[in-house]
Structure 1
Amino acid sequence: MYKFSGYTIKAFFALRGGVKVYQKENLPTDRGFVIACTHEGFVDVLALGTGILPLEIHYMAKKELFSNKLIGGFLKRIHAFPVDRENPGPSSIKTPIKLLKEGKIVGIFPSGTRTSEDVPLKRGAVTIAQMGKAPIVPAAYRGPSNGKSLFKKGKMQLIIGEPIMLEEFDHLPAKERLGAMTEVLNQRIKDLENQLTEKE
């Protein structure tokens, strides 16, 4: 179901020029990882998913989306799993950690909300990566963000950054690693956004 949906959406995007993907070679191919991408609307979720095919992403999605049985059933078939954003607890990270340890890819939009504002990245992505003993791959998308803008002109661009490895922070005291990794992730994503601006 995932690949069928992914390639169908990719074919639709191709009608308007497709998604130009830069630095796809940065994606690890031998282990699970967290991919953390910018988020302004639902289109960037689709662009990220189609952009790294045939790799498959398991997305964290707010639990409210699963309240409708039809929509919830579809989301589960395309590897999305529910998270309670209002009351996050141990159960919120249990599923993604398990997926990472199974060698799968977990997709997280660290800003937590659909916004174009410069919101400091949340520590959730880093916490999950640390507990799942997996690298974090920063990514940035630029292009249409909603259904209406899809039917207007405009490039769709996705850029993949180099993985942030946990080992890079082994020299720091344990209590400082989370903050340091979050700062690095935040900066790497900003740098990727700047690179996309330069490519326009």
Structure 2
Amino acid sequence: MYSFAARFLKIFLSLFGRIDVYGKEHLPQSGGYVIACTHTGWVDILWLGISVFPTKIHFMAKKELFQTRFTKWLMTELNAFPVNRENPGPSTLKIPRKLLKEGKVVGIFPSGTRTTEDVPLKKGAVTIANLANVPIVPAAYVGPNNFKELLKRKKPVLIFGEPIMIDQQLPKKEKIDRMLHILEKEMTSLQTGFKSKVKK
């Protein structure tokens, strides 16, 4: 189902303009890792999944998307797993940690919600990467966020940064806070850096 959906969506979205992907060479060639991407609309989720295919991303998704039998089946088939954003439980860490240990890729949007504003990142991505001892690849999406913007053929761009490894020698709180600061800085830099180049 995942492979079929990825191929179909690539054809569908390409009708509105092909995506430019930068920094894909930064993606680790083996082992599990976390992709932490900016999140401004539903389109970025689709392009992120398509851009790394045939590598499959296991997305963390809000539990509300799993409430009906059909949507639960669909989300599961698309490699998504639920998280209660208001009251995260043990599974919030257990499921992605298990996936990463199996060498799989976990996709997380650290802003916690779709927004075009600068908001503090949540610690989930960093905490999960720390527990699994895997790198975090920062990513930024610039482009159409909804169907209206797709129709305007706004150019989609996805930029991957270099993997960030957590310094396991630091005390737990310090390393989480430091990594969160580095991740936030890198994601902002990728996004604003590209936008400034376009303006020139």
Please indicate, yes or no, whether the TM-score normalized by the shorter chain is above 0.5: yes
Partner of 1:189: 187
SS across alignment from 1:99: helix
Q: Per-residue CA shift, 1:112-169, capped at 9, x if unaligned? A: 0111110011111000000111100000001111122211121000000000012xx2
Partner of 2:4: 4
Q: Per-residue CA shift, 1:15-54, capped at 9, x if unaligned? A: 2221110010000011100000000111110010011111
1:198 correspondence with 2:189 = no
Task: Indicate if the aligned counterparts of 2:143 and 2:154 stay in contact, CA closer than 8 A.
Answer: yes
Aligned residues: 198
1:66 correspondence with 2:66 = yes
How is 1:82-161 mapped onto 2 (pairs within 5 angstroms)? 82-161=82-161
Q: Distance in 2 between matches of 1:51 and 1:199?
A: 22
Q: Distance in 2 between matches of 1:13 and 1:25?
A: 23
Partner of 1:176: 174
Give structure 1 stretches of 5+ with no counterpart: none
Q: Percent identity?
A: 54
| One-letter code aligned to 1:51 | S
Q: Distance in 1 between matches of 2:65 and 2:14?
A: 28
Q: CA deviation at 1:171?
A: 4.5
Q: Distance in 2 between matches of 1:105 and 1:171?
A: 24
Task: Indicate if the aligned counterparts of 2:17 and 2:153 stay in contact, CA closer than 8 A.
Answer: no
Q: CA deviation at 1:173?
A: 2.9
SS across alignment from 1:106: strand
Task: Indicate if the aligned counterparts of 2:23 and 2:160 stay in contact, CA closer than 8 A.
Answer: yes
Question: With structure 1 as the length reference, what TM-score do the two structures score?
Answer: 0.95
Q: Per-residue CA shift, 1:54-111, capped at 9, x if unaligned? A: 1110000000011122122111101001111111121211100000000000000000
Question: With structure 2 as the length reference, what TM-score do the two structures score?
Answer: 0.95
Partner of 1:165: 165
The worse-fitting range, judged by mean Cα deviation, of 106-115 and 189-198 is 189-198
Q: Distance in 1 between matches of 2:9 and 2:142?
A: 17
Q: Distance in 2 between matches of 1:151 and 1:68?
A: 31
Q: Distance in 2 between matches of 1:196 and 1:59?
A: 25
Q: 1:85 to 1:43 in 2, by over 3 A?
A: same
SS across alignment from 2:164: coil
Give structure 2 stretches of 5+ with no counterpart: none
